[in-house]
């Protein structure tokens, strides 16, 4: 089984790489059409008015059913997304580790150079935002530097530094950490929670752990004890809010209006707990990881191990959830027996149901509210939301499977 999976992975990874090579880096995105001014206005009004909420729901579903048609109608242009550049480069680095093939080295270095060209303007450090306006707790203008985009891209620079040993990549990582330290911090007792952007204070666990892990990692690398301790205090904030059942809510208690647990954000938390444990060897992070993993395996999959969107809701079956599941299970397989067997099932479902014959991956499978609960696939290609995450996931998964076969 392992050998056949590895062979299948090699074929499907190449199909995805060939597709990206053929179409280039310009891509649509789930949020591009949602950033059209009149859609943003409806999104804002939907928070206060039931009629606008209904209109927003209808529009959102139509955009999913006819994604290309509406982008042509509204003249939405494809863009190069910094996050997709980083994710694709991360996949190429994973490939290099497995195959020893250096043919993609030029592509990796060019991607990192382009990422520096696409960085946002900040007073201190280096950071990135999203190239579209998007509605969160407030309207966040395009290119506003944020912690998630910056740590995601920062992780690829870190991987490149480890893989190639280039000091300039290490220097970028240090500058990224310096930016992260400028984000608003809420001091809660002896702990710290970082905010998403400089625009407002909020409490989101996956974001907070992304930043915590990065500061711990870079702090250890450059022997900066203050940076390291700030990262540890941020990690402690999230640990303090773990439920007895093992899960982490999306929001910290300060911002939590209702329960919100979903698949891919839980995967982010699991990956960061693993990394922080490896970096610090502090058993409290392993204990938290054990509890969160147990809840994850038992609550965020169907009986056939298809990734559910939420514990109490299967749909949407999002490509982002599938990719993060494969990636997370591959990384955690060193600790948990059976993790790769579950990853096998998620992988086979993903390539059978979500990978197009051209090589790219669909947005996902959705349950329609307009069509009386019928399910449909949104078959558009997104580099930032789908292809980048999948290339990173499949190459990471192949590394884990190769280590067993080898």
What is the per-residue pLDDT across 318-330, written as a single tens digit (0 to 9) for each?
A: 999 999 999 999 9
Q: Which helix (H) or strand (E) holds 56?
A: helix 50-65
Whether residue 114 lies inside any domain: the answer is no
Q: What burial class does residue 304 get, using C-beta atoms within 10 Å of its C-beta: 0-12 exposed, 13-18 middle, 19+ buried?
A: exposed
Are 51 and 11 members of one domain?
no
Are 320 and 374 members of one domain?
yes
Question: Is residue 271 scored above 90 in pLDDT?
Answer: yes
CB burial string 334-358: b at 16+ within 10 A, e below: eeeeebbebbbbbbebbbebbbeee
At 404, the pLDDT band (50, 70, 90 cuts) reads confident
> Which pair of structure tokens corresponds to residue 256?
């939590």
Residue 1 has a pLDDT of: 55
118 vs 64, 80, 157, CA distance in Å?
Answer: 28, 9, 14
Are 25 and 38 members of one domain?
no
Are 368 and 334 members of one domain?
yes
**CB distance 382 to 318 below 8 Å:** no
Give the C-alpha separation, 192 to 368, whole Å.
41
Give the C-alpha separation, 82 to 317, whole Å.
25
Are 382 and 350 members of one domain?
yes
At 134, the pLDDT band (50, 70, 90 cuts) reads confident
Give the domain range for residue 388.
1-29+311-406
At 405, the pLDDT band (50, 70, 90 cuts) reads low
**CB distance 158 to 217 below 8 Å:** yes
Question: Is residue 2 scored above 80 in pLDDT?
Answer: no
Q: What burial class does residue 73 get, using C-beta atoms within 10 Å of its C-beta: 0-12 exposed, 13-18 middle, 19+ buried?
A: exposed
Length of the chain: 406
Give the C-alpha separation, 357 to 361, whole Å.
9
Are 10 and 68 members of one domain?
no
- Count of domains forming the chain: 2
Residue 52 has a pLDDT of: 85
Are 71 and 7 members of one domain?
no
Are 17 and 41 members of one domain?
no
pLDDT, greater one: 2 or 209: 209
Whether residue 303 lies inside any domain: the answer is no
Average pLDDT, the chain: 95
Question: Is residue 81 scored above 70 in pLDDT?
Answer: yes
The last residue of a domain, from among 75, 101, 135: 75
Using DSSP's 3-state secondary structure scheme, residue 240 falls into coil
Whether residue 323 lies inside any domain: the answer is yes
The residue assigned the tokens 């149901």 is 353
Instruction: Please state the separation of Cα 207 from the chain's center in Å.
Output: 10
At 44, the pLDDT band (50, 70, 90 cuts) reads confident
Whether residue 18 lies inside any domain: the answer is yes
Give the C-alpha separation, 360 to 369, whole Å.
27
Give the C-alpha separation, 317 to 2, whole Å.
25
The last residue of a domain, from among 16, 45, 75: 75
Sequence-distant (6+) residues with CB within 8 A of 84 are: 25, 27, 383, 384, 387, 388
pLDDT tens digits, 182-231:
999 999 999 999 999 999 999 999 999 999 999 999 999 999 999 999 99
Are 349 and 325 members of one domain?
yes
């Amino acid at each position: 089984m392992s050998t056949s999976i590895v062979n299948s992975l090699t074929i499907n990874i190449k199909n995805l790489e060939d597709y990206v090579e053929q179409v280039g880096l310009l891509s649509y995105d789930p949020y591009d059409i949602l950033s059209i001014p009149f859609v943003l206005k409806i999104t804002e009004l939907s928070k206060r008015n039931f009629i606008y909420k209904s209109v927003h729901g209808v529009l959102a579903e139509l955009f999913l059913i006819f994604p290309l048609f509406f982008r042509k109608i509204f003249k939405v242009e494809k863009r190069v997304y910094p996050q997709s550049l980083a994710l694709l480069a991360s996949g190429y680095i994973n490939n290099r580790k497995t195959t020893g093939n250096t043919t993609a080295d030029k592509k990796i270095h060019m991607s990192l150079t382009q990422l520096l060209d696409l960085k946002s303007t900040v007073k201190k450090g280096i950071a990135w935002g999203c190239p579209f306006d998007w509605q969160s707790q407030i309207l966040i203008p395009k290119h506003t530097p944020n912690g998630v985009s910056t740590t995601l891209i920062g992780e690829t620079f870190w991987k490149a530094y480890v893989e190639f040993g280039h000091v300039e990549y290490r220097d970028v990582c240090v500058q990224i950490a310096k930016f992260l330290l400028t984000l608003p911090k809420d001091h809660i007792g002896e702990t710290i929670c970082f905010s998403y952007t400089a625009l407002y204070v909020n409490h989101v666990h996956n974001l907070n752990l992304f930043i915590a892990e990065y500061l711990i990692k870079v702090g250890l690398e450059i022997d900066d004890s203050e940076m390291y301790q700030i990262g540890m205090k941020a990690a402690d904030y999230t640990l303090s809010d773990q439920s007895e059942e093992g899960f982490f809510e999306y929001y910290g208690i300060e911002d939590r209006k209702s329960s919100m647990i979903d698949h891919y954000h839980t995967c982010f938390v699991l990956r960061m707990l693993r990394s922080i444990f490896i970096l610090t060897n502090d058993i409290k992070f392993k204990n938290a990881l054990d509890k969160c993993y147990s809840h994850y395996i038992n609550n965020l999959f169907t009986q056939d191990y298809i990734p559910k969107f939420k514990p109490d809701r299967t749909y949407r079956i999002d490509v982002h959830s599938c990719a993060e599941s494969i990636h997370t299970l591959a990384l955690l397989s060193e600790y948990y027996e059976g993790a790769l067997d579950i990853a096998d099932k998620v992988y086979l479902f993903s390539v059978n149901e979500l990978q197009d014959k051209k090589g790219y991956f669909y947005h996902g499978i959705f349950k329609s509210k307009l069509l009386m609960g019928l399910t449909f696939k949104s078959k558009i290609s997104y580099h930032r939301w789908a292809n980048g995450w999948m290339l990173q996931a499949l190459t990471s998964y192949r590394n884990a499977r190769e280590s067993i076969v080898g």
